[in-house]
Amino acid sequence: MSANLREAAHLRRRYRVVLTALGFILLLSSALGAVPVLVALWLREGAANLGGFALPAALQLMAGLALWKGPWSVRNETPTFSEGGIIVLLSWVLVMALSALPFVLVLGLPFSRAFFESVSGWTTTGLSVVDVTTAPASVLIWRSLIQLAGGAGLAILMMSALAGATGAGISGAEGRGDQLVPQVRESARLVLVIYLATATAGVIAYVLVGMTPFDALNHSFAAVSTGGFSTRVESLGYWNSPVVEAVTIALMWLGNLSFITAWLLWRGRLGAVAGNGEIRLTAVVLPTAVILLFFLTCMGTYPHLGKAARVAVFEATTALTTTGFSTVGYASWNGAGFFIMIMLMLIGGGTCSTAGGIKQIRIYLVWRQLCRDLRQLMLPRGTVSPVLIREGEQTVAVEDGRFRQVSTFLYLYLLTYAAGVLILCASGFSLQDSLFEFASALGTVGLSMGVTTADMPDPALWAETTAMFLGRLEFTVILVSAVRLLRDLRVMVRLPGRG
């Protein structure tokens, strides 16, 4: 047997492992469909709505069983790290496509719009083309559920069952390489406990401050996942309540934390939390942004100082945490306000969290590298000045390779941002609106200037859809996994005798 044929046979064996893992993910995600079915039954929404959720869930269940239990399945082997990236790529695309079907069957949306809504939910973005004033309760709870699941990450949902190289490889492929404890299953369990406990506390808090249980459930799921889907056209502005905004700010901030930092906070290790670079960055960036927004924009826009202060605090927080809730419209804001919000959306939230954006740890590392390089200029030639940062409860030196990775990511991110803004401008939107909207899509934020609507041009729609996907799964993961997948497929289908 030639080397090419041996390689093809090996890859076919390895992709049976990949498909088996993909089947397990489909089985897990199919269970989500039971919730809107129960809601539709409870509220007597009719057979059409029941079928709109039951049929896609059944299809997903059968596909998952076929891959997980079929004769071609391989359950005694675990994927490698690189195969984990392919699993994440394939599973997210497939689950997003299947999750779009209820929007088609229940609301009658074209598939492109339904897929956009599904991607927005799973990526915890919150941009929407659905009219929430006419959408049934089953659709509203479906949007919130996929945000909650997307925030936790499909990888975390399956880590407890597919441990070892599988769990580590897949979670790392999603940009969640850190673990709370050495055991992958235990890490997954702890993450889910923290995540669901926070969401439950959020539901209770919202009910206590005046929301209905249904609104409380939807908004807690959206806040903790930093998603931003709302049951109201006015988003959080519908309540115009300082206490509702205070609860939301707390939930958004908790969702923005990396799971490692949240775990340390849960355990009361405040010293380790305070020493974290992302926390230090937030402690500088967020107050600065609030002060600038207050004096440069809000004071001149809102007549009462109390309202101006509330708006500045809430809008800066929702932008930096990439949640996307809003309490006001932005039509009356000046250019300074738009600039500040765009910068916050680009920075984004914590790494290994539900938030999007460039991520605070990367911005922190760029700042530390700049300080190190300036300091090196004043030191004798040959002097080495390492950059030390806190990771969890440990102090580690940052290697130059990590700085190069950050630089590469920044180049890709900003290049994609520029290309997306150009597409929106070419679709007929103003430069200011395009800069704001694409920063929101790429950072998985969800704030909107009105660009994102059900009748937006297709090029703009697909540009934002792609941006949300890239922003959620990390550029390098998608690019490397896609190239690897195409290369492997080419090898596996190569005919004998061909070079």
Per-residue pLDDT tens for 175-203? 444 554 445 566 777 778 888 999 999 99
In a domain, 273, yes or no: no
- Range(s) of the domain holding residue 52: 3-170+177-233
Domain count, the chain: 2
In a domain, 474, yes or no: yes
Tell me the average pLDDT of the chain: 87
H-type helices in 179-303, by residue range?
184-208, 213-224, 242-256, 259-266, 270-274, 277-293, 299-301
Model confidence band, residue 161 (pLDDT cutoffs 50, 70, 90): very low
Residue 155, pLDDT score: 47
- Rounded to whole angstroms, the Cα distance separating 126 from 121 reads 6
405 pLDDT higher than 90: no
Proportion of the chain above pLDDT 70, given as a percent: 90
Select from 217, 233, 249 the last residue of a domain: 233
Residue 178, pLDDT score: 52
In a domain, 272, yes or no: no
- Cβ–Cβ < 8 Å for 17, 74: yes
Higher pLDDT, 16 or 182: 16
Select from 201, 216, 233 the last residue of a domain: 233
In a domain, 280, yes or no: no
Higher pLDDT, 156 or 354: 354
Mean pLDDT, rounded, for 381-391: 74
Residue 478, pLDDT score: 84
Residue 32, pLDDT score: 93
Model confidence band, residue 160 (pLDDT cutoffs 50, 70, 90): very low
Higher pLDDT, 74 or 4: 74
495 pLDDT higher than 70: no
Residue 163, pLDDT score: 42
Residue 156, pLDDT score: 62
Find, among 363, 364, 341, 223, the residue nearest to 290 by Cα.
341
251 pLDDT higher than 70: yes
- Cβ–Cβ < 8 Å for 364, 280: yes
Model confidence band, residue 363 (pLDDT cutoffs 50, 70, 90): very high
- Cβ–Cβ < 8 Å for 429, 450: no
Lowest mean pLDDT among 161-165, 352-356, 361-365, 416-420: 161-165
Mean pLDDT, rounded, for 32-52: 94
In a domain, 385, yes or no: no
- CB burial readout 47-86, b (16+ within 10 A) else e: eebbbbbbebbeebbebbeebbeeeebeeeebbbeebbbb
In a domain, 240, yes or no: no
In a domain, 412, yes or no: no
Residue 78, pLDDT score: 76
348 pLDDT higher than 80: yes
In a domain, 380, yes or no: no
378 pLDDT higher than 90: no
Model confidence band, residue 171 (pLDDT cutoffs 50, 70, 90): very low
